[in-house]
Amino acid sequence: MERPDWAPKEVDIEKASAARLYDYFLGGSYNFEVDRALGRQIEQAAPGVPEFAFLNRAYLRRAVRYMLSRGVDQFLDLGSGIPTAGNVHEVAQNINPDVRVVYVDNEPVAVAHADLLLEDNPNAVAIEADLADTAFVLGHDKTRGLLDFSRPIGLLAVAVLHFLPAGVDPNAVLAEYRRAMPAGSFFALSHLTHEVDSDQVDQIIRLYSRSQNPIISRGRDEITGLFTGFDLVEPGVVFTPLWHPESPEDVGEHPDRSGALVGVARKP
């Protein structure tokens, strides 16, 4: 396919990526035909995936607002994806213009688009990096220049840890970030789980294996274990719509159909 003018040269336009698929499901325009083709297959095989994307974005908004209400005014967003409506800096800076945000993603399109979007925003930056390379992320000039590690930080890993390669231990990765976070920091995550409609999850895993980012689902105990070293806040690890819903209608009759478990925790 022909490379769009806005696509960085290093971008693989022949194979779908998780960040661009997520952008497609959210109705964004920074994706290629290869992403849209696989996205349509995923929608047909697992109709709940677009809803998963929107519910996940709504959860991100609620988690950020919760952290803001607890005094957090700086965020490190791992696997942030392509900036679309409702990103962290938009949610947070609408409440407090001085909030600082560092986005991290290994998708060049995500970072290139973020750079354009944040060009006139001195309190938000993007880094192209693998979140598993913790030393690089934490030691990056942009990270150290914007975040104050002597004060609480909001660490976000929303819909990203299930994309870590099979040989990478998410607990070990998170332990490095946890050590860098001061007391009073918060951690939020969402993660695909197989404790739902197993057929749909199997289809999602099968189809994502055709992308640059194969996906791994985990059970409740494994996902809860990712919060080791943090104190979970109520209601603990729950299906996406059940975490601090803005109204009873937002929960729906089948919150498990969200396909993901989420939680927020505080570092003591």
Q: Is 7 among the domain residues?
A: no
Q: Is 45 among the domain residues?
A: yes
Mean pLDDT of the chain: 91
Q: How large is the average pLDDT for residues 191-209?
A: 87
Q: Is 10 among the domain residues?
A: no
pLDDT given for residue 122 in this prediction? 96
Q: Is 137 among the domain residues?
A: yes
Q: Is 9 among the domain residues?
A: no
> How many domains is the chain partitioned into structurally?
1
**Band of the pLDDT at 62, cuts 50, 70, 90?**
very high
Give the C-alpha distances (Å, rounded to integers) separating 162 from 45, 56, 60, 191. 19, 14, 16, 6
Of 211, 232, 208, nearest in space to 220 by CA: 232
Entry pTM: 0.91
**Quick one: CA dihedral 46, 47, 52, 57, positive or negative?**
positive
pLDDT in tens, 142-196: 999 999 999 999 999 999 999 999 899 999 999 999 999 999 999 999 999 988 7
Contact 237, 30 (CB under 8 A): no
Q: Is 79 among the domain residues?
A: yes
Burial 154-178 (b: 16+ CB within 10 A, else e): bbbbbbbbbbbeeeeebeebbeebb
What is the C-alpha R_g of the chain?
A: 17
Q: How far apart are CA 122 and CA 260, in angstroms?
A: 33
Q: How large is the average pLDDT for residues 211-232?
A: 96
* Residues ≥6 apart with Cβ < 8 Å to 22: 53, 81, 82, 159
Q: Is 11 among the domain residues?
A: no
Q: Is 213 among the domain residues?
A: yes
pLDDT in tens, 23-57: 899 888 888 899 999 999 999 988 878 888 889 99
**Band of the pLDDT at 7, cuts 50, 70, 90?**
low
* Residues ≥6 apart with Cβ < 8 Å to 156: 60, 63, 64, 75, 76, 77, 78, 80, 88, 187, 188, 189
> What kind and span of H or E run contains 109?
helix 108-117
pLDDT above 90 for 259? no
CATH classification at residue 101: 3.40.50.150
| Domain around 94 | 18-266
